[in-house]
Every structure is written in structure tokens, then in C-alpha cells.
Structure 1
Amino acid sequence: MKIVASTKLKSELKEKLIANYPELKFYFFKNMAEAIDDLLDADVFITYGEDLTEEIIMKVKKLKWIMVFSAGVEKLPFRAIKQKGILVTNARGIHKIPMAEYTMAMILQVARQAKQLISNEQKHVWDRSVPMTELSGKTLGVLGAGAIGTQIAKYAQVFNMKTIGLNRSGRSVEAFDEMVTVNELGYLLEKSDFVVSVLPSTPKTDRMINREVLQQMKASAVFINIGRGQNVVEVDLISALEEGEIAHAVLDVFEKEPLPAGHPFWEMENVTVTPHLSGISNQYLPRAIEIFENNLKEFLSGKKEFINVIDLDHGY
């Protein structure tokens, strides 16, 4: 069996895979340009999900499984993959701990006025009138109650926050006090003091956070986006912030990245900008390898009880 990877892996991780599966042939490359020739007759392909095209998929001869070493799969050519009957799995859940930690750090940063306190410190200003807010008793609304959203809810409950989650079915999810569907989105928005978007990029979610949605939030609400920049209509968010329809936005993802130097977000006092790093962790690749090995064992045994299987019709 031939396994080709276009992902950059540390030597120890590559050596571990080779040692654990001596009967398999691994071919590691830095990018698709280097991998393409071997990919054409590979059985398994490991990728970050951004280098596959419909043209490449139609050329592969034996490919049975694509393992994506990220949670986002929106750039995959789903139609061609489905036509070829290729299994796709991803690394969903790999980001849940760092992204949940980031989210709570940002919630605390806003509630405890960290930006103002740091500014005062730099200016040698002693001001005990800076307003402080407790998280206890506040409500957190999470758009996307998957692995990441659930981890965020778990951490929020430690702070005695009420948690409301949104998913497609409205089914119960651990760590959420209430669950709603998109038809009940207004209820979540009206009740929440903090609204966190962990939404994927799909035709149904792109530009979902628009003026109408923002106007349903509390004027004191904080919006946090760690999902996809495409989920938000940025001009609508800017207007909502300027007109006081919401209090603050914490943004880790944007329509265009890197965020252009002249973008209004950089200068807005009620916006916190971070450079798409909420999921960064030194445990990223080891966790991805763990998911891959779990599925590889299923693949080799023929049991096919895979985790993180992507629904090619829905795109996640």
C-alpha cells in the first residue's frame, strides 16, 4: 500500500509512522508540486486540504482515502471526490483545546478590560474606575456546537456561565444548557452576552453573520469569530460596532488574510484583532497523527469504523 503526504512533518513523526507500519510505503513531500507524480498511483493521501483540484482527482488511479490534517475542508473538490468514491476524513477536534483556551482568554480580556489596563500601565496611569465585569451568570452562545464549541462550553461552565449552542439538528450536546437550530438563532442572539462563531465555511454559513443577525444581539454583547472569515459580512460588522449595536468584536479570521494594513478593524477601539492563531499549538501535528493512525488501523483491517468522516454532500 502506498501512502503519499504533501504535508510538512517533523522527522520524528515521519520516522514513527515508518517504524509503526513497516509493511506500508510512505512517501513524504513538502508540497503538491513534489508529490503529484507519486500521488497518481497512491492508495492514501495526507494533505492540509488546500492543494487538491478536480483535475488532480480525475487523474488519480487508485486513491481510496484522503486524510486532511486540518478541520477545514472547504477547498476540496467534493464533486470529483464523490464521483470517484474516495473516503475523506479530517482532523476535527484537533484544535479544540487551544481554540477553547483562546476563546476564554479573549472573553476575559474584554470582561476584565485588559487592553485598557495595559494601556494605563504603559502610560503610568492609576485608574481604579475602569469597569470590571464578572463572567459568572453571563450567557455564552456558541454557533457550531461541534468539538471546538463543546470544549468552549465546558470551560465556560467552570466560570458559572450559562451555555446555549447551535447545531443543525438541535440535538442535545454535553456542556450546553440549551440547544437550538438555525430557525431559533434569534433566541440565542437575544439571550447571549458573548456570541462565539465556530462555523465552517459552507454555502449556508458564508455571510451568515450579517446586519440582521447583528441587530438581534444585545447592545452589550461581544462577538467572537474563530470560525471562518467568510461567515461574516465585514461592512455590516463595522457598522454595528460604530453605531453601538454590539459592544465589542474579537476577530481571529477575516475575509482577506493577512488583514490589510489600512483595514478599519486595526484602528477600532472596540475590536480585538489576532492573526488567525487561535488553533496554533505545538501539539497540532502529534494529535493529527493520532487521528490518522486510528483511521489507518481501521482502513487496514477493513472494519471501516472511521472517525471524522466528511459528508461530501454537506462539505463538513
Structure 2
Amino acid sequence: MKVYFTFDARPDLQKQLVEQFPEVEFVFRKGIHAEDLETAEVIVTYGEDLTDAHIEQAYNLKWIFVASAGIEQMPKQAIANKNILVSNVRGIHKKPMAESILAHILSLKRCLPYIYNNQRNKIWNKRGGRPTELNGSTALIIGPGAIGGEIGRLLQAFDVYTIGCNRSGNPAEYMNETYPLDELAEQLPKADIVISILPSTDETEHLIQYEHFELMPEHAIFMNFGRGNLVATDVLIRALEEKLIQHAVLDVFEEEPLPAESSLWDLDNVTISPHCSSHSSRYLERSFEILIPSLEKYLQGDTNLENKMEILRGY
């Protein structure tokens, strides 16, 4: 059986796989190579390089392991038509993403951008910046899954009251309260911090409208770390220009890379993070912690793998 990586994994991780699975032929490439595509039974990919034509050409393909959480750029219908098993690494992002989100919140609350700017300009001013406390705040987490739960856990350590909004309204881990998404509007006025970790689905596209920003307190921080199409870019710009909220922290955008001509670059109440909140030196290491036991099960004929996905639903 051939397992074909469309990226070149770290040498130590490659060695671990080869030694642990001597019966498997592993191929590590940068990009798509036709000869490997045609003969591989398993493909390991970041999910952005496969096309409809590739899926048609992959005659022996049975399983795609996606070393990422998002699959929106994958040829989903072609994969579904061939009943190809898909699983991903959902959950491995929770530690680095939660730390990134907490870092941004604390930076704004404790006026670190102001302090750094004064340092660059050799200004000694300990009375400016108007620092506030995270302690005692209320955070509304839209999409309290694995990542949202980890954010909730860290925020609760700062005595932050956490409210979750998910599809079902069922209780979620590390949320003091949980409500269904159709009650989002009722929860927004309570939130000092609004954090979205939602994936990209038909239901979540442009879920946040101008009216939602009107419902947020003027001192609110809005953070989008899920997918960029949660809110239309022009709506977001209008809300920030009108200062309906205090600040936005954006790690994802409708168009990536964010165009140089975008008005978002020029606003003083937005932090632009180039879709890097999940980056970590331990990213592939954590991915392999899911891949290895999944490969063991697959070799035994068990296709009930961790993070098995319904490809057409997007999760």
C-alpha cells in the first residue's frame, strides 16, 4: 500500500512512519506528481492542492488525510462521488490558537500596542493608554468546539464569564451558559469580547450582519479566528469606521492575502493577523499524533477513524 504525502514532512517524522509501518510504502513530495497520484491508496495533504482532475486521476485512492481543519478548497463533490474516506486534524489547533487569542486580548486590555509605540518613539508616558482588566469580563464564543472550549478554559482562569453559541444550544465545555445560534442577537449585548471560531459552511456565510455590530457594546472587541466569510468585508469596514465597537482582531478574511488596497489596513481600530494564529513549531508533530493511530486502524480494515468527515457538509 502506498501513502503519498503532497508535502515534505520533517525528517524525524518521516523516519518514525517508515520504522513503525515497514509494510507501507511512503512517498514524500512537494506538490502533485502524476505517477504517485495514480497509485496511492492514501493521500496526506494540507487540502489546498487537490483538484477535480486529481481525484479522477487517483484511481486507487481510498482515504485522504487532511493535515488541516478546513476543507473548503477541496474538490468535495468529486471526492464524495468516489466515496473516498476523508479525515482531518480537527482539535490540534486548540492550544496555539487559544494562546494567540488570549495574547491579542491581553495586549489590547493592557495597552501593549501603545507601550510598544512609545518605546519606538522614545516617549516615557505611564498615564496614557487607558488600560483595562480582563478580569470580570464576559466573552461570547461563537462555535465553542475544541478550540472554543480551550479558549473558554483559559478565559475562565482570568475570571471571565463565558457564553457559548452553537447550532444545538446544548451545553459546551468551559461555557457558563450555552445558547443556539438563532439566539445570537440576544447574547451580543452582554459581551465585552465576541470570538468566532466557526467553520465555513452555507449556514455560517455572512452570519454576522451590520445589525449584529449595532447590538455589541461600544467597548466590545470582535475577534474572527474561524473563517473570513463569517462577515462581509464591506459590513466589517463600515462597523469599524463608524466605531460601533472598540476594536476588531482578524486572523481570517474573505480574500486572502488581504489586498494592499483594502481599507482594513488603514483603520486604527483593527489588528490584522495573516491567518497565522494556529502556527506552531509543533503543528506537524500534533498532526502525526492523529495520523499514526488512524493509519493503524485503517490497516486493520477499520474505517471509523478519528475526525472522520462528512465531506459535503464541510465538517
Q: TM-score range by the shorter chain?
A: over 0.9
Could you tell me how far apart the structure 2 residues matched to 1:106 and 1:224 are?
Answer: 9
Q: Deviation at 1:149?
A: 1.0
Match of 1:64 in 2: 62
Separation (CA, whole Å) in 2 of partners of 1:130 and 1:70: 38
Deviations 1:234-292 (CA, angstroms, capped at 9, x unpaired)? 11111111212111001112222222223222221111112221111000001111111
**1:202 corresponds to which residue?**
201
Once residues 240 and 21 of structure 2 are traced to their aligned partners in structure 1, the CA distance between those partners, rounded to angstroms, is: 54
Structure 1 residue 30 displacement after superposition: 0.5
Number of the residue aligned with 2:297: 298
Q: CA deviation at 1:22?
A: 0.3
Residue in 2 that maps onto 1:159: 158
How big is the shift at 1:129?
A: 4.3
Q: What does the per-residue CA deviation read over 1:43-75, in whole Å, with 9 as the maximum and x for residues that have no partner? A: 111011111122222232221110000111111
Q: Which residue of 2 aligns with 1:241?
A: 240
Q: Which residue of 2 aligns with 1:113?
A: 111
Task: Give the partner amino acid of 2:252.
Answer: V
C-alpha displacement at 1:130, in angstroms?
Answer: 2.9
Give me the whole-angstrom Cα distance separating, in 1, the residues matched to 2:10 and 2:287: 13
| Correspondent of 1:73 among 57, 71, 74 | 71
Q: Which amino acid aligns with 1:51?
A: D
Alignment of 1:1-316 (within 5 A): 1-32=1-32, 34=33, 36-123=34-121, 124-316=123-315
**Offset from partner CA, 1:143-186 (integer Å, 9 cap, x none):** 11121111111110110101111222222121111112211111
Gaps of at least 5 residues in structure 1 are none
The alignment yields a C-alpha RMSD, in angstroms, of: 1.5
**Residues 260-269 or 219-228, more deviating:** 260-269
Which deviates more, 185-194 or 121-130?
121-130
Instruction: Note if contact 2:37-2:57 (Cα within 8 Å) is conserved in structure 1.
Output: no
Q: Distance in 2 between matches of 1:267 and 1:125?
A: 26
Q: Which moved more, 1:271-280 or 1:114-123?
A: 114-123
1:293 CA drift (Å): 0.6
CA distance in 2, matches of 1:125, 1:271: 25
Paired with 1:149 and 1:8, the residues of 2 have a C-alpha distance of 30
- Measured in 1, the distance between the counterparts of 2:300 and 2:187 equals 44
- Look up the equivalent residue of 2:62 and give its one-letter code: K
How far does the alpha carbon of each residue in 1:170-207 deviate from its partner, in whole angstroms, 9 at most, with x for none? 22121111112211111231211101111112222122
Q: Which 4+ runs in 1 deviate beyond 3 A?
A: none
Pick which of 122-131 and 97-106 moved more.
122-131
The CA distance in 2 between the partners of 1:291 and 1:278, in whole Å, is 20
Q: Which moved more, 1:101-110 or 1:113-122?
A: 113-122
- AA paired with 2:261? G
| Corresponding letter in the other structure for 2:127 | R
SS in structure 2 of the partner of residue 278 of structure 1: coil
2:139/2:162 contact within 8 Å kept:
yes
Q: Secondary structure, in 3 states, of the residue corresponding to 2:79? A: helix
Structure 2, unpaired ranges of 5+: none
How much does 1:21 deviate?
Answer: 0.2
